[in-house]
Structure 1
Amino acid sequence: MKTTCPPVKVLTAATALMLAASLVGCDATAHAFEAVGSAPCIPGRPTADPEATGDAASALVQLETIPVKGRAPKTGYTRDEFGPAWADVDHNGCDTRNDILARDLIDKTFKAGTNNCVVASGTLADEYTCTTITFVRGQDTSSKVQIDHVVPLSDAWQKGAQQLSGERREELANDPLNLMAADGPTNAAKGDSDAATWLPPNKAFRCEYVARQTSVKAKYSLWVTQAEHDSIAGILEGCK
């Protein structure tokens, strides 16, 4: 089940620093969220990752440290090049998919006998669409909420990840900085697009989205294309 909020107004960085008191329901669109200029659609979604926070000016500075090159061929790319899907890289006993569901969903329940590892149900305040999605684990329902790689693995492969070690690629594929629970159909529509060809429908989240992509690419020594650079820069310049 989804419920839709009204459009969210992008806030300036200065306004974002003046955090408002918590609001409820779709009125929370007025509540400042992150210094990059985003506002949350719905209260309750936790900050995704400390590395994802920061202001637009810092993200712009970081963007200029990332090389600008053409896209390399996709030759040789398979998901297996980034290790087993949803490996337990932090050795907490839970696979990465369930770690991210547990981080991003509210009102969670867990499958009995899994030591609070396997998320059975919950509610996602989806930042990509500004909708609330009810998640229920099951063959016909789990796909309503998917785990998105903010920088798609295929895109990473074509922009430097081929040169990374297998271990480093597995870290990239399971890094919480690069992962978000998201609306399934929207994630499918994104595919392996970069910021030059796809951005979240919820415009108020685009500042944080491209800032996170910038952080991931800098962290893993990946590059951007000129069109991608220009798209990210244009968005960040409008967030200040």
Structure 2
Amino acid sequence: MTGHRSLRATLTALPLAGILGLALALPAGAEPPGIPDPATAKSELTKLTVAPEGSMDGYSREKFPHWIEGPDGCNTREAVLKRDGKDVETGSDCYPTSGSWLSPYDGETWTKPSDLDIDHVVPLAAAWRSGAAEWTQDQRQAFANDLEGPQLIAVTDNVNQSKGDQTPDEWMPPLASYHCTYASMWVGTKSKYGLTVTDAEKSALQKTLDGC
């Protein structure tokens, strides 16, 4: 880590203008492709089917084969680390040997890939409960390795672990300034894959997007 552990306290103490200035001074964080703007996300949210969460019966992470090898010989995790980092250098095995990563969930910067998880924005278990239980294995693999939508992002490992498989009515990133982007990514992913939302989940997403 390279010294942003006190960022949240700093942000709390700063007026809005100071926060904006600090944000401009920080290195760019992860930016997955295909993130809808908040207005588009609000429109997409109205079109999602509202339904109670399904059962976890039969769920296993193995039913979502992930970190598969791409055509360049690098796996999905390695591809996201290279995409989301700054000045990333990799060895012949695709694993990063240097670089830095700003986790947008909490504003922390890391220089060791081992300090990062690749978050499935819509967790695999949450997807299972909202429609993926009915998918084929190939469909679940595509979802778990999606490099073309806003479903994968490199973030601080313990923040990702605290999220678990919770939905936005239960968990949002610690950094409040990222809530609009996170809600937009969540809706964009659920819209792309035709997944359902619960009443509570939709309400939380609507409230967040209304404040963007």
Partner of 1:127: 104
Letter aligned with residue 63 of structure 2 = E
C-alpha distance in structure 2 between counterparts of 1:195 and 1:206, whole Å: 10
Does structure 2 conserve the Cα–Cα contact (< 8 Å) formed by 1:110 and 1:120?
yes
Q: What is the aligned partner in structure 2 of residue 72 from structure 1?
A: 54
Task: Give the aligned partner of residue 227 of structure 1.
Answer: 200
CA contact (8 A) 1:97 1:147 kept: yes
Tell which has more relative contact order, 1 or 2 (C-alpha 8 A, sep 6+): 2
Listed one character per residue, the Cα deviations across residues 119-152 of structure 1 (whole Å, up to 9, x for unaligned) are 123211110101112215xxxxx1x111110000
Aligned-residue RMSD, C-alpha = 2.0
Q: What does residue 20 of structure 1 align with?
A: none
Instruction: Give the 5 Å matches for 1:48-197.
Output: 48-49=32-33, 51-52=34-35, 54-83=36-65, 85-88=66-69, 90-111=70-91, 113-114=92-93, 117-136=94-113, 142=114, 144-176=115-147, 177-197=150-170
- 1:43 corresponds to which residue? 27
Structure 1 runs (4+) greater than 4 angstroms displaced: none
Alpha-carbon shift at residue 55 of structure 1 (Å): 2.3
Contact 2:56/2:129, CA 8 A, preserved across alignment: yes
TM norm structure 2: 0.88
Provide closer, same or farther for how the CA distance between residues 178 and 46 of structure 1 changes in structure 2, counting only shifts above 3 A.
closer
Deviation for aligned residue 1:227: 0.4
Give distance in 2, aligned partners of 1:219 and 1:164.
14
Q: Give TM-score, length-normalised by structure 1.
A: 0.78
* 5+ residue gaps, structure 2: none
What percentage of aligned pairs have identical amino acids? 32
Query: How many aligned residue pairs are there?
Result: 201
For structure 1, which runs of at least 5 residues remain unmatched after alignment?
Answer: 12-25, 32-40, 137-141
